[in-house]
Amino acid sequence: MATRNATWRVWAVIGGIAIGVIVIIARLVQLQIIDHEEYRQQATLNHLRQLPLYDQRAAILDRNGYPLAASEYTFDVYVEIDAWEDPIAAEQAAREIAKITSTYWGSLVNVVSETDVFEVPVVRGLDYEQSEAVKALNQDGVRLIRTSHRVYPEGNLATQLIGITGTDNIGLTGLEDDYNSILGGVEGSITAEVDALGNPYALGQQSTIPAQPGSNIVLTIDRYIQRLAEQQLDKAIKDHDATGGTIIVVQPKTGEILAMVSRPAADLARPDLSDESKLALLRNRAITDSYEPGSTFKLVTMAAALDAGEVYPDMWWDDLGVVHIDGWAIRNWDLSAHGSQTVTQILAKSLNTGAAWLSSLLGPERFYEYVHAFGFGEQSGISLSGESPGLVRTPENDPGWRLVDTATNSFGQGLSATPLQMVMAVAAIANDGLFMQPRIVREIAGATNIEFEPEPAGRPISVETARTLREMMGVVVNGIPEYLLDVQGYEVGGKTGTANIADGNGSYKDNAYISSFVGVAPLDDPELAIIVKIDEPQDVPWGTVVAAPAFGEIVQESLAYLKIPPGPEALVSAAE
Amino acid sequence: MATAPKAKAESQIQGLLRPENLPVVLTIAAMVVGIAALLPLLQSSETTSTAGNILQLENEKAGWQTQLQELELTVAGMGSLDHIERESRRRFKMTTPEEVVYILVDSPPPQARRIPSRYFAQDETAETGTGSSIWEDLVGWLPFPWD
């Protein structure tokens, strides 16, 4: 009996041990086989630390290689707060650093005393010489971290176009934002084996994936013409006490933007982002803001009527001073009636009644076909974000559309366009009717190399129509007094515009206008198409007075700069 | 023909292994083993000092690159249109022309400024292979017949 009990107890112990072993084995199987991957990842996370690596942000260059925005290495001084625990030692160390960095030592000490993190930057943005001087101090708990920041060798040139970056060197607005991945390159990483406190082992495993440098962006912008446009815009705004404005200069044969400027604008080096009104200064109004183009749009109406074969330059018509459509009366800007006029004089005298007559000859369907063919009502496709498509109301897209809208649209009211759309339409006229895709980036150069070629985007009108229209634009300019527009040595063409400003409630602001001028130069073989748009001038509203002089100045200097010879009568022989 | 030298070599080895020569042989063997044991240490220290030199040179290179960039940006700033105009007016007393005269000259215009080479992709085909180890060097010194 006793032996049987003993045997039972032995088997019970053996059975208990066996069960325990089985449980342990099962747990080991779970840990090492079933959940192996999960625990392996946890272990990796525990003893490996990964830090991101960034290369320097690439540059934005003008078409000739001059940097408009570039990066520069700078150094930040970091202090371990434990090292500056003793006030006397901290003051002495801070005084030495402050002497090199031209800062106040007290503020350095305050930065350290007011934080509870392990290490804090006390001075940022030192140049190499200063960093070497701080390094030579050999202070305990003080180290230098190399960083990079944006510099603008040309100052505030093309502010809204270039845009700004944040302190982490990420693009926030403009091209810096739109081309952030190209300029910023590819992030790398450094992976190191660390101990329980996160300190790397001296001989531990370490691997580095180097950051890939960004590629530089070569713009179509020419810094000389850009600066010229900015100076002329500033002058026009100042002379006429205007609220802002835009100038765009385009090469019609390629669609390349040589200058694009809007005012008001922000300071690139010290942008103020404190409120919405300051943020608005970073908006590229040349593409984001649409306006009613006014009489400059008569060029589009005239192009359509000529191309459709409805009229020719010397064709006569009778201006009665008013056109009645659907019970609405369309009148000229000066409320006058001019009697018998040629079609050319519709442009030369900027007759609203004439434009309305042209649109009635075309009819709404053909009129809007031409309007769309010139790129209105849709984004131009320029590689910039935030572009407005403008607004063209047609019978198809707006149930509230009425026949009188065609008439008002014909002289640029009741529809909206961006300055870029307007100048590209004129560029198509300058380019013998061939509409080119507008371009702001010419080339991406660096780790990635892409060269962009000029790209035709349609032909709204024939070569003959474009040439005829250019001659008519020349007649318009000939009617402008020389003291307002006189380009010596070159023949130019253009059209003025004075437009009401919509108030957003279906009406127009009182006594507020947009004065503009669009033109081409030289007239026989245009190399430039330019729009000058001035917002709400306070003295006079007329585009002839407010905008045309800036056009003349830009053309005069730009053509000489581009080495485009003037007409033979303006040349002086080198042999003389 | 080949058996004579072989027999001679065997008799020489047997001579070395005689009891009276054994201490010398063992001492020499111990020294060879000791020196061989030091070789990894030698290689390790050489590697460490090379790594230190590389780090120092990399720091120097980074310093030069930083200074070069600073100088390039200084040049860019001095070549900016604002600076050129300011200096033209201040130093050379230049003013805006009142009259523009166009002269046609019979020579081509100057070449457009080229984009600085640093703005283009750099050639990344530099040698990245590892050097030979000290063991390989040592083996290379020995007069093996297959050399």
Option in B100, B101, B115 nearest A65 (CB) = B115
Whether residue A239 sits in one domain with residue A325: yes
Domain membership flag for residue A183: no
Whether residue A440 sits in one domain with residue A523: yes
- Beta partners for residue A458, in sequence order: A435
Whether residue A323 sits in one domain with residue A238: yes
Domain membership flag for residue A442: yes
Residue A312 phi/psi, 5-degree rounding, is -140, 160
∠A370-A554-B74 over CA atoms, to 5°? Answer: 120
Measured between beta carbons, which residues in chain B are less than 8 angstroms from residue A561? none
Residue entry with tokens 């307002």: A484
Measured between beta carbons, which residues in chain B are less than 8 angstroms from residue A447? 121
Domain span at A560: 223-570
Residue A93: CATH number of its domain? 3.90.1310.10
Domain membership flag for residue A184: no
Q: Tell me which of A64, A152, A154 to substitute to probe the interface with B (most B C-beta atoms closer than 10 Å).
A: A154
User: Looking at this predicted complex, what is its ipTM?
Assistant: 0.74
Tell if the CB–CB gap between B82 and A560 is shorter than 8 Å.
no
Tell if the CB–CB gap between A146 and B70 is shorter than 8 Å.
no
What total number of domains does chain A contain? 2
- Chain B CA closest to residue A224: B81
Domain membership flag for residue A15: no
Name A47's Cβ contacts closer than 8 Å, sequence gap at least 6.
Answer: A193, A194, A195
| Shortest distance, CA B115 to any CA of chain A (angstroms) | 4
Whether residue A149 sits in one domain with residue A228: no
Whether residue A483 sits in one domain with residue A401: yes
- Chain A CA closest to residue B48: A203
Whether residue A251 sits in one domain with residue A145: no
Domain membership flag for residue A387: yes
Taking the model in full, what pTM does it have? 0.80
Tell if the CB–CB gap between B69 and A65 is shorter than 8 Å.
no
Alpha-carbon torsion A458, A460, A465, A468, what sign? negative
Walk along chain A (576 residues) and give the pLDDT tens digit of each residue: 556 677 888 888 889 999 999 999 999 999 888 888 888 888 777 777 776 777 788 999 999 888 999 988 888 899 988 889 899 999 999 999 999 999 999 999 999 988 877 888 899 889 999 999 999 999 988 988 888 888 899 999 999 999 999 877 889 999 999 999 999 888 777 777 777 666 666 666 777 788 888 899 999 999 999 999 999 999 999 999 999 999 999 999 999 999 999 999 888 878 887 777 888 888 999 999 999 999 999 999 999 999 999 999 999 999 898 999 888 889 988 888 888 999 999 999 999 999 999 999 999 999 999 999 999 999 998 989 999 999 999 999 999 899 999 999 999 999 999 999 999 999 999 999 999 999 999 999 887 788 999 999 999 999 999 999 999 999 999 999 999 998 988 999 999 999 988 887 778 888 899 999 999 999 999 999 999 999 999 999 999 999 999 999 999 999 989 989 887 777 765 444
Domain membership flag for residue A14: no
Residue A560: CATH number of its domain? 3.40.710.10
Whether residue A379 sits in one domain with residue A509: yes
Query: Which of A92, A122, A153 is where one domain is finished?
Result: A153
Domain membership flag for residue A230: yes
**HEC-encoded secondary structure of A455-472:** CEEECCCCHHHHHHHHHH
Query: Which of A96, A124, A153 is where one domain is finished?
Result: A153
Query: Which of A108, A132, A153 is where one domain is finished?
Result: A153
∠B111-B114-B116 over CA atoms, to 5°? Answer: 155
Whether residue A256 sits in one domain with residue A124: no
**Interfacial residues of B (vs A; Cβ cutoff 8 Å):** 62-63, 65-67, 69-70, 73, 76-77, 79-82, 100-106, 109, 112-116, 119-121
CB pairs under 8 A between A and B: 86
Domain membership flag for residue A527: yes
Tell if the CB–CB gap between B109 and A449 is shorter than 8 Å.
no
Q: Please name which of A575, A284, A558 lies closest in space to residue A438, comparing C-alpha atoms.
A: A284
